[in-house]
Structure formats: C-alpha cells, structure tokens
Amino acid sequence: MPYTADKPGSTPDPEALRARIPGWGSDLDPADRPAFPREQPGIETGAHWELPPQQSGAAGRERSVEHERVTPVFGTAQPLHGVSGAIRRFAYDRFSEGQTAHWLLLVAGDRVDAMTAHAASLFSKRPDDPITESGVTGEVAHRPIASRVGRGRIDLKHSWMDPILVVGPWVVAAVLGVKLVRAVFLPASKRGK
C-alpha cells in the first residue's frame, strides 16, 4: 500500500457508532473528561487543614531516606521485627529508592520473613498449611481441565513452574532441617549412612 497523507481505511460514521454504542462520543469534549487537564489546581478535596496533624508513633518508624520526615499519616499494619526487620531497616536507612540495593534488600527481607514465619508457625496452634493456603482446593468445582485444555492458553508453557514455587521451598527447608538435625545429633562417623 502506498503511504499518503490520508489515514488508511474508511472513516467511521459517527451516527452509526452513536446508534450502536451507548454513550458514544459523550466525552468527546475534553471539558467532559475529569482527568483533563491532568493537573487542576483548586479542586475541592474536603481537606480542612494546611498540613495534617502528625499521627503519633512516628519516632523510630522506618522511612524512605528521600523523605525529610515520617509522613503525617502512615501505615502501622506490620511493624518491623526480627531478622527480616533488620534487613528491611538497613534497606531503608542506607539506600534511597533510586538504588537497586534498596529494592533487592527488601525482596530479600520478604523471603526471610516468609521463611521465619513458616518455621514459627510450626510451633503455633495454627501451623501453615500449604494445601489450603495455596487455595488449590478451589480447583474442585471450577473446571480445572476444561479451563486449561484445548483453549490455546499460552500460559501453560510456564504455569507448570507454579507448584514448584509453592512446594519447592518447603522441600528445601525439610531437607536442610534433616541435614541440620543429623549434623547436630549424629556422630560424624555415622553421617552419610
């Protein structure tokens, strides 16, 4: 096709579109688009303060070093604790958001958090249960085969990895646990048998 100044193809008929699609063109005028322009000074927000009062408990709370202070309001959902907390605090105290180390340390903290929580749960009234917590029981009555087979789902090329990601860490932890117990309680002469 030769390229000309015209847009290729036929121009859609606005009346036909209006008849086929409810509301077609009702926001054609940018004035009817609430996100236009994107920055709109003076929007009434409901705020009745210039600076919100400070939420208590800010002292010692982790913050991005790019902030000059802990924000007036902050989340208190899961305070830092334990080894994962130490890793995360190091990430916050030492590295800005612009440094990859900040995020990689936070990811490491997440994995340590999950591992220690799983281990601690074994000594609690409610140990982690990878079967119910993975929700795999939802396969029942939700067409597990018909949803996947014969429908050209390209994600099946890699979804076989998911069970490994879910169960794998448990297997690795069990193997390491057995090795640790053997190392501690079995004499060196009997190990490996």
Partner 1 sequence: MKAMTYRGPYKIRVEEKPDPKIEHPNDAIVRVELAAICGSDLHLYHGMLPDTRVGHTFGHEFIGRVEQVGSSVQNLKVGDRVMVPFNIFCGSCFFCARGLFSNCHNVNANATAVGGIYGYSHTAGGYDGGQAELVRVPFADVGPAVIPDGVDPEDALLLTDAFSTGYFGAQLADIVEGDTAVVFGAGPIGLAAARSAWLMGAGRVIVVDYLDYRLRKAEEFAYAETINFGQVNDIVRELKKQTGGLGADVVIEAVGAEADGHVLQHVTSAKLKLQGGSPIALNWAIDSVRKGGTISVMGAYGPLFSAVKFGDAMNKGVTMRMNQAPVKRQWPRLLEHIAAGHITPSDMVTHRIPLEHIAEGYHIFSSKLDDIIKPVITVA
* Residues of span 70-129 touching partner 1 by CB under 8 A: 70-78, 84, 88, 92, 97, 100, 103-104, 106-107, 109-110, 113-115, 117-118, 126, 128-129
Q: Which of 137, 173, 175, 177 touches partner 1 (CB under 8 A)?
A: 137
For residues 193 and 188, give the distance between their C-alpha atoms in angstroms, rounded to a whole number.
10
**How far is the C-alpha of 189 from the C-alpha of 187, rounded, in Å?**
5
Query: With the C-alpha atoms ordered 35, 40, 46, 51, is the resulting torsion angle positive or negative?
Result: positive
Minimum distance, C-beta of residue 183 to partner 1, in the bound complex (Å): 26
CB atoms within 10 A of CB 113: 19
Q: Which is nearer to partner 1, 137 or 191 (CB)?
A: 137
Comparing CB distances to partner 1, the nearer of 52 and 177 is 52
Of 66 and 190, the one with the shorter C-beta distance to partner 1 is 66
CB of 93 to partner 1, least distance (A): 12
Closer residue to partner 1 in complex, CB, 152/187: 152
From 134, 156, 132, 135, select the one nearest 145 (Cα to Cα). 156
CB of 96 or CB of 181, closer to partner 1: 96
Q: Which of residues 23-42 bind partner 1 (CB under 8 A)?
A: 23-28, 32-36, 38-42
Angle at 189 between CA 183 and CA 191, to 5 degrees: 40
Nearest residue (CB) to partner 1, 107 versus 174: 107
Report, in Å, the least distance between residue 180 CB and partner 1: 21
State the amino acid at position 123 in one-letter form.
F
CA dist list (Å): 98 to 64, 67, 102, 104 = 11, 13, 8, 12
> Could you tell me the two tokens for 56?
């208590």
Q: Rule CB under 8 A: is residue 174 a binding residue for partner 1?
A: no
- Decide: is 177 part of the binding site for partner 1 (CB under 8 A): no
